[in-house]
Homo-oligomer: A and B are copies of this chain.
Amino acid sequence: MNTVPTVAKADLKKFFNPASVALVGATDDLSRFAGKVLMRMSDFGYKGKIYPVNPRFKGQQIRGHECYGSVRDLPEAPDHVGVVVPAQHVMGILEDCAARGAKFVTVYTGGFAESGTAEGKALQAEVVALARRSGMRIMGPNCNGMISFVDAFAMTTSATIAGPRQPAGNVGVVSQSGGAGQVNVMWRAQDAGVGISYQVSCGNSADLNIIDFIEFMLDDAATDVIMALVEHIPDGRRFMQTARRAAALGKPIVMVKLGRTEAGGHAAASHTGAMAGSDDVTDAALKQCGVIRVDDCNELYEMAMLLRAKRIPQGPRTAATTISGGNGVLLVDHGAAHGLSWPEFSPKTRETLASFLPKMATTANPVDVSNALIGKADLFRRCVETIAADENVDMVIPTYTMTPRADLEAAVEAWQATTKPMAMLWIGKCNDQAGFTQLTVAATGMPVFRNTLACVKAVKAAVNYGQFSAANAKRAEPVRPAGIDVEAARALVSNADGTMTERASKQVLAAYGFPVTRETLAKEAADAVRIATEIGGEVALKIESADIPHKTEAGAIRLHVKGNAVVREAFDAVMGAARHYKPDAVLDGVLVQEMAPAGLEIMLGLVTDPVFGPVVVAGLGGIHVEVLRDLAYRVAPIDQTEARAMLDELRGRKLLDGVRGAAPRDIEALCDLIVRLSWLGHDLSDCIAELDVNPVILREQGAGAKVVDALVVGRKS
């Protein structure tokens, strides 16, 4: 959980479109960082007032602007100040900026927290404190600034904006990294015909972070899609809220999140904790709030290419036309493998197609016009329009290889004539006009892809996004179920220090409405006999000791015990094994417990993610967890629908329906427990670090579940 205090939402209009800008450390020398920044700013066409600041050049002209000795001396309060001075001078400059009433500062200088040194971290803390104290908002340090194509303002060294300024588009770029955000994402997007509104690389994100910039782009009319290249999410909960708002506004966020392979590095006392890889949690959290996660930077703009048209497919039913049979097979094959379907056209559609298509063509889906239509643009346009009008079709992909211009334009015309989602898949080039390229098509706003798999993946992600948005629109905040006694549970946990016993852990769960085994602690053998008689039938005997969390490993457990003599004998055996296993352990006694009913073993758990906070985990028990790591995650709290979706993600899902003649399991009861556990995490994450419920025995439909063992790991005070 992020502990940065909440600050007022920044209005970043003047950040991107300042009336006046100061650059501290300014110089004419183009081999210097600040020299490059000033050159780019001028070349990019910034029309506002520029104040170079540098005591060395005080009173001189730099690029035609009078240079000042200090920000304090400026004739007006600048909207945005760029700072390019050595790290040890940054705080002094920031004080000057705050004193002069600057609204925004971007600090380019490195040598702060990213250095890993204590000095660097302390220096960065000072920057944050100043921002909080003064209300002046700061980007960086250790960043490469920003670019607004909307406002023709850039303050960065990036060579990506050399040459004529690219026209603004409706896709924004946020990243912490400079080079990768500006080259891999922004410049490459433009190179593929995707226009950019704003770009920021916010570096160490001491004050302003990617969420602030995403929020600006959500509120700003110039941006419809946001591409994010993210090394770390600064505040998981706030990010998820922002992402849900993005979905509600119909402004998709597409993200490359680095750190897939850092997973599972943290030490953990509980089973669940050891199983949770942080990237699995990130993956689940991003899905949960509708962020479209892609693998590499090119997929960001391929996805944006599709989404910026603001036509989201209502479902996976795809239709295509092709002039190459092989390409039809490729498209259908990849589409089906990725979850797109290829519906039959309606009788009306087939009739219409047959009325104008030549005999060689088919009226199947994809329509293979088999070279017969090449050069007959009007027929081509009618063909695309006809299948786009079919009510069985959610998405249309006109596919081309080597093609005359008129045929390509026919698809663009069909795109313009309808509101159905479409993407052109154009593998080759234009036959009869060299200058007519994929960029020509992209300039019309029609999405255009060069590779089949990339096209199919983007379309499927858009389908998923559409489904998320529809569900998100109807979604209510999760409600705490009845029968939860938060304070009772809190009292139990806050008394604990570190690992709790099985019995105490189950009492916490019982306070949240979990059905647990009947059990009582026996201090002596005679107690055990009496308790076993009260419970009736077979019982289990287990050591109770906070010093022995792994009872099976200690051999301090006996199952299926029945009869007074046997119970007495088992009591002594359990105590003896525990003493042998860990001679200095404090033994509370022996837990006498009803034997669990027969059923399917389930594992539930809670972990605390450093970014997203309490996370609920569910999986099938036993080898499914230990060997196959077949687990699903959700940021807590969640509702029944999300709980069911978690189960649906499990590879072993079918076991819940009953296989090999077993009865279907009580899925509803299981979902109820997952929801309750998510609330437990939500309510008590300040005092619970991790929690295992392993196993829960899940009985047949209607017969509920029972918790057999549990382990709460409290936060050490």
Residues of chain A having any CB pair with chain B under 8 Å: 158-160, 162, 175-181, 183-184, 187-188, 229, 231, 256, 258-261, 295-298, 323-327, 329-330, 333-334, 336-337, 401-402, 427-429, 431, 450-454, 552, 622-623, 626-628, 651-652, 654-655, 659-661
**Distance in Å: Cβ of A110 to nearest Cβ of chain B:** 9
Interface contact B258-A453, CB-CB below 8 Å:
no
CB of A660 within 8 A of CB of B187, answer no
Cβ-defined partner of A179 (8 Å) among B231, B327, B334, B659: B327
Q: Please state if A231 and B628 are interface contacts (CB–CB under 8 Å).
A: no
Q: A183-B324, A184-B330, A295-B334 are in contact. List 6 more A-B contacts (CB 8 A).
A: A179-B325, A184-B326, A184-B428, A229-B326, A296-B451, A297-B452
Partner of A655, one of B298, B336, B627: B627
Of all chain B residues, the one with the shortest Cβ separation from A188 is: B427
Whole-angstrom distance between the alpha carbons of A651 and B627 in the complex?
8
A336, closest chain B residue (CB):
B261
Q: Is the CB of A329 within 8 A of B451?
A: no
Least CB separation from A655: chain B residue: B627
Q: Which one of B175, B259, B337, B427 lies within 8 Å of A261 (CB-CB)?
A: B337
How far, in Å, is A243 (CB) from chain B's closest CB? 22
| B323 x A179 contact (CB < 8 A) | yes
* Residues B296 and A177 in contact, CB atoms below 8 Å apart: no
Bound-state Cα–Cα, A599 to B444, Å: 66
Among B176, B296, B325, B428, point to the contact of A452 (Cβ < 8 A): B296
B333 & A261 in contact (Cβ 8 Å cutoff): yes
Cross-interface CB contact of A231 among B187, B326, B427, B659, cutoff 8 Å = B326
Q: Is the CB of B179 within 8 A of A401?
A: yes
Interface centre among A179, A324, A327 (most CB of B within 10 A): A179
Name the B residues within 8 Å of A259 (CB-CB): 333
* Residue contact B324 to A177, C-beta cutoff 8 Å: yes
Task: Please tell me if the beta carbons of A337 and B260 are within 8 angstroms of each other in the complex.
Answer: yes
A454 to B429, CA, bound (A): 23
Q: Which residues of B contact A330 (CB under 8 A)?
A: 180, 184, 256, 258, 296-297
Specify which chain B residues have a CB less than 8 angstroms from the CB of A178 in the assembled complex.
324, 326
Residues on B with beta carbons closer than 8 Å to the beta carbon of A623: 652, 655, 659-660
Task: Please tell me how many copies of the chain the complex holds.
Answer: 2
Please, how many angstroms separate the alpha-carbon atoms of A229 and B180 in the complex? 34
Q: For the complex, what is the distance from the CA of A643 to the CA of B453, rounded to whole Å?
A: 33
B326 close to A427 (CB less than 8 A): no
Shortest distance in angstroms between A400's beta carbon and chain B's nearest beta carbon?
A: 9
Residues of B within 8 A of A179 (CB): 323-327, 401
Contact of A628 with B626 in the complex, beta carbons under 8 Å? no
Distance (Å) between the CB of A390 and the closest chain B CB? 22
Name the distance in Å between A270's Cβ and chain B's nearest Cβ: 17
State how many angstroms separate the Cβ of A518 from the closest Cβ of chain B. 26
**Closest residue on chain B to residue A187 by CB atoms:** B428
Does A160 lie within 8 Å of B428, measured CB to CB?
A: yes
CB<8 Å pairs between A and B, sample of 9: A179-B323, A180-B329, A184-B427, A187-B429, A258-B329, A295-B334, A298-B453, A622-B660, A628-B651
Across-interface contacts of A183 in B (CB, < 8 A)? 324, 327, 401-402, 427-428
Q: A326–B177 contact, CB under 8 A?
A: yes
Which of chain B's residues have a CB closer than 8 A to the CB of A159?
402, 431
A659, B626: Cβ atoms under 8 Å? Answer: yes
Give every chain B residue within 8 A of A401 (Cβ-Cβ).
Answer: 179-180, 183-184
Q: How far is the CB of A116 from chain B (nearest CB, A)?
A: 12
Question: Do A298 and B451 contact each other (CB < 8 Å), given the known contacts A336-B261, A427-B184, A626-B659?
Answer: yes
CB nearest neighbor in B for A299 = B453
Given contacts A187-B428, A258-B333, A333-B261, contact A160 B326 (CB under 8 A): no
Per the bound structure, the CA–CA distance linking A514 and B433 in Å amounts to 69
Residues of B contacting A323 in the complex (Cβ-Cβ under 8 angstroms): 179
Select from chain B the residue with minimum beta-carbon distance to A184. Answer: B427
A181 (CB) vs chain B CBs: closest residue: B326
Are A296 and B326 closer than 8 Å at their CB atoms?
Answer: no
Is A626 a contact of B184 with CB atoms below 8 Å? no
| CA of A325 to CA of B159, assembled, Å | 16
- Report B-chain residues with C-beta under 8 Å of the C-beta of A256: 330
Question: Which of A453, A454, A622: most chain B Cβ within 10 A?
Answer: A453
CB distance from A316 to the nearest CB of B (A): 14
Asked if B659 and A627 sit within 8 Å, CB to CB, the answer is yes
Task: Determine the distance from Cα of A454 to Cα of B651 in the docked complex, in whole angstroms.
Answer: 28
Q: Which 7 A-B pairs have the closest CB atoms?
A: A177-B326, A179-B324, A180-B326, A296-B453, A261-B336, A183-B401, A159-B402
CB neighbours (8 Å) of A329 from chain B are 177, 180, 231, 258
Assembly CA distance A177 to B323 (angstroms): 12
Instruction: Chain B residues near A176: list those with CB within 8 A.
Output: 326
CB distance from A361 to the nearest CB of B (A): 13
A198 to B620, alpha carbons, bound, how many Å?
54
Q: Which residues of B contact A298 (CB under 8 A)?
A: 450-451, 453
Complex alpha-carbon distance, A160 and B602, angstroms = 58
How distant is the Cα of A453 from the Cα of B454 in the complex, in angstroms?
Answer: 13
- With both beta carbons as reference points, the residue of chain B lying nearest to A400 in the complex is identified as B183
Contact of A180 among B327, B429, B627 (CB under 8 A): B327
Verify B295–A160 contact, CB threshold 8 A.
no
Provide the residues of chain B in CB contact with A260, threshold 8 Å: 333, 336-337
Residues of B within 8 A of A175 (CB): 326
Set of chain B residues within 8 Å of A162, measured between Cβ atoms: 431
- Which of B337, B451, B627, B628 lies in contact with A297, CB distance below 8 A? B451
Q: Which residues of B contact A452 (CB under 8 A)?
A: 184, 296-297
Residues in chain B near residue A454, CB distance under 8 A: 296
Given A402-B183, A451-B296, A177 and B325 contact (CB-CB distance below 8 Å): yes
How far, in Å, is A56 (CB) from chain B's closest CB? 23
With contact pairs A231-B329, A258-B329 given, residues A652 and B628 touching in the complex (Cβ less than 8 Å): yes
CA distance A453 to B177 in the complex (A): 18
